[in-house]
Amino acid sequence: MKKILNVFVLSLLVVVVLSVPTYAANAKVTALNASASGSTINVSGSVESTMVAAAISVYDEAGTTLVALKTTPITDANTFSDSVTVSSAGIYTVRVADYDGGAYSETKVKVATATTTAAAPSTAKAPKTAENPIFWVAFAFVGLAAGLTAARVHKAYK
């Protein structure tokens, strides 16, 4: 009986430890450059070393209507570079953040036939883009393993 109780307590402890949420600090964009060539907006910059991918969001001038969204990998040199095509001339707000959310850098770029301009970047808070489903898969697997172990132990002592 004591062995069953030990297995149950150990299984419960594993489930509790794995269910405690852990969050990594979101990395920041340290430099952001945007320029336009025709209807293409070229976006590049550098990031903190913990960032794996960047989310590039292009909004209308007011920053309220999403025009384009793209993710891009981060190089070993902690830089990124990608381009987004827009359908019309105008001034666009470009925001880049860690793919997992956090602070974003923002700049404006003018898309015109021949000239392009860019403003200085600013920072603000971006929402989380998604939660990690691996936690829930691991949680379900540990729960299933604990249940099967308890059932086997119980069956062995019957």
Give the model's pLDDT for residue 48.
Answer: 84
* Dist. CA 124–CA 136, nearest whole Å: 30
| Prediction pTM value | 0.58
Q: Rounded to an integer, what is the distance from CA 152 to the centroid of its chain?
A: 40
- Who wins on pLDDT, 24 or 151? 151
Q: What is the pLDDT of residues 95-148, one digit of tens each?
A: 999 888 788 899 999 998 644 455 556 666 555 544 556 666 666 667 767 776
52 Cβ partners below 8 Å, 6+ apart? Answer: 73, 74, 99
Domain spanning 29-126, CATH class: mainly beta
* Dist. CA 112–CA 89, nearest whole Å: 5
Q: What is the pLDDT of residues 48-68, one digit of tens each?
A: 888 889 999 999 888 889 999
Least confident among 8-17, 28-37, 38-47: 8-17
The H or E element containing residue 134 is helix 134-156
